[in-house]
Amino acid sequence: MSRDPSEIIKEALRLPTAARAALADSLLESLDAEVDEDAEAAWRSEIQRRVAEIDSNSVSLVPWAEVRSRLMATPGNER
């Protein structure tokens, strides 16, 4: 007999944070039946480009707290 998905979700939400994150990761990974090699290569290239920019100090980094504050101040992003 199959379990009710809402009961499974209730149980999952009672898990510790790390366990919920691992569960979410596993569930998302299970949806990726096929790996797009072109996309993987494009992401690797983009990551390398961004790391090189950071290493060369050609970009300035912004702390997450500041980015979040800016986003929340943008009309339509209120919670």
- Interval 9-17 mean pLDDT: 95
Cα–Cα dist 57/49, whole Å: 12
Cα–Cα dist 17/14, whole Å: 9
Q: Under the phi-then-psi rule, with left for phi > 0, alpha for psi from -120 to 50, and beta for the rest, what region is 57?
A: left
pLDDT in tens, 58-67: 999 999 999 9
Using H for helix, E for strand and C for coil, what is the string for 15-73?
A: CCHHHHHHHHHHHHHHHCCCCCHHHHHHHHHHHHHHHHHHHCCCCCCCCHHHHHHHHHH
Residues in contact with 13: Cβ distance below 8 Å, sequence separation at least 6, in sequence order: 20
Q: Which of 26 and 78 is assigned the larger pLDDT?
A: 26
- Give the model's pLDDT for residue 36: 83
pLDDT in tens, 31-71: 877 878 899 899 999 999 999 999 999 999 999 999 999 99
Report if pTM > 0.85: no
